[in-house]
Amino acid sequence: MAEVTVDAKTFALDEDGFLADQNDWNEEFAKAIAKEEGIDELTEGHWNVINYMRSDYADKGAVPTIRRLKKAGGIPTKDLYALFPDGPAKKAARISGLPKPKGCV
C-alpha cells in the first residue's frame, strides 16, 4: 500500500492515492497533498470547501458532488474550479482526506 509522510507522520493511501483512513487526516496532510496537486497555498476559500466536504461526508457518508457543493454548501461552481483547477471534485476530495468520488457508471 502506498503511503505519504508529512512532518514525520505517515499516512496510508488507498489504491487510488486517496487517504485510506479518514480519521488520520490533519491540516498538514491537506497542505502537503495540495502542493502535490499544484496548489501552493491553501487560502480561506480552499478551507471553506475542505471543511464543508469533511463535515458533509461525516454527515452523509458520501463524498459531495459539485452540484451538492453548490446547492447545499453554497459554493459557486465557478469558484470551485478557480480554487481546484482541472477536476475540482477529485482534487478537493483528495486534499480533504476523503475517498475518491464515485464517478457513477
Any idea which residues carry the catalytic annotation? Answer: 104
Please give the residue ranges that form the binding site for other proteins (CB under 8 A): 65-68, 71-72, 77-78, 80-82, 85-88, 90, 102-105
- Please state the closest distance from residue 63 (CB atom) to other proteins, in A: 11
CA–CA separation, 38 vs 18, rounded Å? 16
User: What would the 3-class secondary structure string for the chain be?
Assistant: CCEEEECCEEEEECCCCCECCHHHCCHHHHHHHHHHCCCCCCCHHHHHHHHHHHHHHHHHCCCCCHHHHHHCCCCCHHHHHHHCCCCHHHHHHHHCCCCCCCCCC
Task: CB nearer to other proteins: give 22 or 65.
Answer: 65
Residue 38 or 85 having the CB closest to other proteins:
85
Nearer to other proteins, 13 or 90 (CB): 90
Q: How far is the CB of 44 from other proteins (least distance, A)?
A: 20
CB of residue 34 vs other proteins: minimum separation in angstroms?
Answer: 17
